[in-house]
Amino acid sequence: MKKHRRSPILGVTLLETILYVALLAIIFPPTVSALLRLSQETSLFDVQHRMDAQAGTILSQLTLDLTQAASVSTSQSTLGADPSSLRFVDASGLTVIVDRPTTTVTLRGGTQSVRRLRMQRGSTAPFWLTDPDIDVSSFTVTAVRNASNVLTGLRLHLSAVMPNAAANAPYRNADFVADATVGLQPQTVEN
């Protein structure tokens, strides 16, 4: 007599299905949470990196311009105040003005008032040194003098934060603070 072989059952049993669903219910929420947290941290890192790069570029440009300046106008600048305004004559003889006005910008969440750094070189139109989504919370320029009260440098202090795109939340968790002292050349005149 021939034995009939039973064909293997194809498919998944109800018990296996319940086990798979339970495992997914245990593993899925922490995995999604970790991925969302990683995405937020990556976004914050990108924002912080952009702020650092822009502030570094601004300080580098100001350092270059000031070390080559023909004169610094301490009488027409507001040194030591926050916000400061700085007026000097660059190496090509053009008057340069750096200040920090408040402007209204449109972000995804609506309009916001943002303080931005602005530069004007000669009679050309002023241009922004900072992006519209970077708020310069502090810009201070202080005179550095030697024992003979001669202007030998300028101390620059710059603080910036990144406003949120939503108008109801004031700032993202990104900020930048820098202090730099720029030594002036002996031929730079104070007026």
Residue 117, in any domain of the structure: yes
| pLDDT computed for residue 91 by the predictor | 93
The pTM of this model reads 0.74
Residue 170, in any domain of the structure: yes
Q: Residue 66: helix, strand or coil by DSSP? A: helix
Mean pLDDT computed over every residue of the chain = 87
| pLDDT computed for residue 168 by the predictor | 52
| pLDDT computed for residue 13 by the predictor | 86
| pLDDT computed for residue 48 by the predictor | 74
In the chain, how many domains are there? 1
Average pLDDT over residues 137-141: 96
Lowest average pLDDT, out of 12-21, 60-69, 71-80, 124-133, goes to 12-21
160 Cβ contact partners less than 8 Å away, ≥ 6 residues apart: 51, 55, 130, 134, 135, 136, 137, 175, 176, 177
Residue 6, in any domain of the structure: no
Residue 103, in any domain of the structure: yes
| pLDDT computed for residue 126 by the predictor | 97
Rounded distance between C-alpha atoms, residue 3 and residue 85, angstroms: 100
pLDDT of 185 over the 90 cut: yes
Give percent above pLDDT 70 in the chain: 88
Residue type, 46: D
Q: Where are the alpha helices (DSSP H) in 68-127?
A: none
| pLDDT computed for residue 44 by the predictor | 60
Phi, psi torsion values for 67, nearest 5 degrees? -70, -20
| pLDDT computed for residue 8 by the predictor | 66
**Do residues 178 and 155 lie in contact, with contact meaning Cβ atoms separated by under 8 Å?**
no
Range of the domain at 64: 14-190
Residue 1, in any domain of the structure: no
Q: Look at 35 and 78; give whichever has higher pLDDT.
A: 78
Taking only the tens place, the pLDDT of each residue in 71-111 is 999 999 999 999 999 999 999 999 999 999 999 988 777 78
Residue 185, in any domain of the structure: yes
Beta bridge partners of 119: 98, 127
pLDDT of 167 over the 80 cut: no
Residue 135, in any domain of the structure: yes
Rounded distance between C-alpha atoms, residue 50 and residue 36, angstroms: 21
pLDDT of 171 over the 60 cut: no
Residue 8, in any domain of the structure: no
Lowest average pLDDT, out of 36-45, 61-70, 138-147, goes to 36-45
